[in-house]
Amino acid sequence: MNQKDIQQQTEHYLRGEMTETERSNFLNAAQQNPALADELAFQQQLFRELGDTEKQQFVAQLASLSGAFFSAPTAASPVLRSISKFILPIVGAGILISILGWYVLTRQQQPASVESARPPDSNGVAMMDGPNVHRVDSTVAMHPMATTPALPDKTPSTAVERPAASTSTVPAADPVDFVPNAYWEGLAARKLVGSDRSIRANARLSGGKKLTLKINMEWPGGETPAPMVVSFYSNKDQDRTAATLLKQVTLELLSQVSDDPASNGKKSYSLEYSAGVNWKPGLYYYVISFEKDAQPILVGKLR
Amino acid sequence: MVLNNERYIEALKVGDRTILQQIYAEFSPAIIRLVMDSGGTRDDARDVFQSALVILFERVRDGALQIPSSFGDLLLSICRRVWRTRFKADTKSKAPVSPDDLSDDIEEDINSEEKNLLFRKHFKLLGAKCQMLLAFFFAGHTIDIICEQMGHQDIDHTLKRKDQCKEKLVLHIKNDPQFTVLAS
């Protein structure tokens, strides 16, 4: 066997893709071939480690926790320390004096126009104008500036734009977040309602920001579907077992759906739900169940 | 607040984030001191701490964890051993050698975890698509499902990509000098 054959045979063995005879022959060969035995030991550990999704999730959790506890305490360099100790106060004082000087000059040059531009108010700002307009000795003099027409227009607009830019960041994809969850996959592959009824759903996640869910149901005509809930889970088994939901929505089905009589005595229902979310890239599951007993009637997935 | 051993074990078993944070808060300063006093860095301390917790996690999961005294003592002892093992080959470090009451098979766990760490390190260096494909593959999913999950056109393409990604991963692991040290 060449190296390629050894690797392929080992893969087949580890993935359980060999017959009993093939397995036996492979193990016998490994006992007599040290290269094969080494490759088997290596790949066995590789498969065990990287295929252990529970462990990978635990490791990822530790990695996300550790930063706060092992990062170096923030100690400024000597240069930064001298900047913060001497230069910054000087620069700050210079800026303050410039602003105050500009303010005083502006008030001296156009006292009437500024006064006339300001609507009559009763919030106490006007009290600081007039005789005190030349005053430069107090920080109190800064407050009226915020109400003059020129400056306030700029300050709020930049303050609004920054958060909007930062919230649009979507976290990077992590393969661990795409690993299928065996439990939900099992339920997703099964029909969970009786043969006299059906439920289909389609969920989409656009850019991790917009969640859309469409549900179509056929239910026996004489039976009114009970209120339902849709619960959204991550792919993590620990979230499932701890019932940690990403989102839960109550479907007010009867008040929101069209109710078209079908020919075979069933009624059809449909519902479209959409909401804004902020989910990182990953595999997610939705579980539709009746509100009263929480038994899943449909499990689906979205990414 | 000091929790009893059972609470720590349960936290490892279910990945309780709050108690894991408490473990970090309570025991990380001692590990940082231990590692930095013997020539390591904060990053070394973080890696040592994580390896020790992973070893404990696997023992808890296998039902093989025995705590001789307290959880904290056990964690710190494992950290010492991990640190000593990891930097055995580094002549600059002066890893402390002190007696502890760990069982003999802990060395085996540490060596195994060192290899696993190497696997994880090189796995993380692969491209995102390779990582995703191999995660499915190692988790035992069939090629059909992987093909569907990856959005590939056909299974042949999935098999080819799997071979390429896995070969790259194996090559990087085996070419890592640390791998030779651990294998010897």
SS3 track for A177-193: HHCCCHHHHHHHCCCCC
Task: Look at residue B171 in the predicted model and tell me its pLDDT.
Answer: 95
The fraction of chain A above a pLDDT of 70, given in percent, is: 65
Q: SS3 for A259?
A: strand
| Chain A / chain B CB contacts < 8 angstroms | 93
With beta carbons less than 8 A apart as the criterion, state whether A151 and A99 touch.
no
Taking contacts as CB-CB distances below 8 angstroms, the residues of chain A near B134 are 50
Q: Which residues lie closer than 8 Å to A41 by C-beta, 6 or more apart?
A: none
Does residue B21 register a pLDDT over 70? yes
Query: In CATH, what class is A176-302?
Result: mainly beta
A15 and B140: CB-CB below 8 Å?
yes
**Mean pLDDT over residues A29-44, rounded?**
91
Taking contacts as CB-CB distances below 8 angstroms, the residues of chain A near B17 are 61, 65
ipTM of the complex: 0.90
> Is some CB atom of chain A closer than 8 A to the CB atom of B43?
yes
Residue-range domain boundaries for chain B: 1-102, 125-184
With beta carbons less than 8 A apart as the criterion, state whether A213 and A286 touch.
yes
Stretch (H or E) spanning A10: helix A3-14
Which residue, among B13, B18, B62, B116, would best test binding to A if mutated, counting the most A CBs under 10 Å from its CB? B116
DSSP state letter for B90: -
A69 and B149: CB-CB below 8 Å?
no
Quote the distance between the C-alpha of residue B42 and its chain's center: 17
Q: How far apart are CA B84 and CA A184, in angstroms?
A: 42
Tens-place pLDDT, residues B154-183: 999 999 999 999 999 999 999 999 898 888
Going by their DSSP bridges, the two strands A247-251 and A266-276 should be labelled as unpaired
Task: Look at residue A181 in the predicted model and tell me its pLDDT.
Answer: 79
A70 and B14: CB-CB below 8 Å?
no
A62 and B32: CB-CB below 8 Å?
no
Give the helix ranges, DSSP H, for A132-267.
142-145, 154-167, 182-188, 237-241, 253-256
Does residue A176 register a pLDDT over 60? yes
Tens-place pLDDT, residues A110-143: 544 433 334 444 343 333 333 333 333 333 333 3
Of the candidates A291, A281, A303, the one whose C-alpha atom is nearest the C-alpha of residue A203 is A303
Q: Which residues lie closer than 8 Å to A147 by C-beta, 6 or more apart?
A: A118, A125
Question: Which of the two residues, B90 and A45, has the higher pLDDT score?
Answer: A45
> Is some CB atom of chain A closer than 8 A to the CB atom of B58?
yes
Q: Quick one: tokens of A97?
A: 């004096």
Residue-range domain boundaries for chain A: 3-51, 78-167, 176-302
Distance from CA of A16 to the nearest CA of B (A): 9
Tens-place pLDDT, residues A67-116: 888 887 765 555 555 555 666 667 677 777 777 777 777 666 554 443 33
The fraction of chain B above a pLDDT of 70, given in percent, is: 91
Query: Which residues are B37's β-sheet partners?
Result: none
Cα–Cα distances (Å) from B111 to A18, A242, A292, B124, B172, in that order, read 30, 33, 51, 20, 19
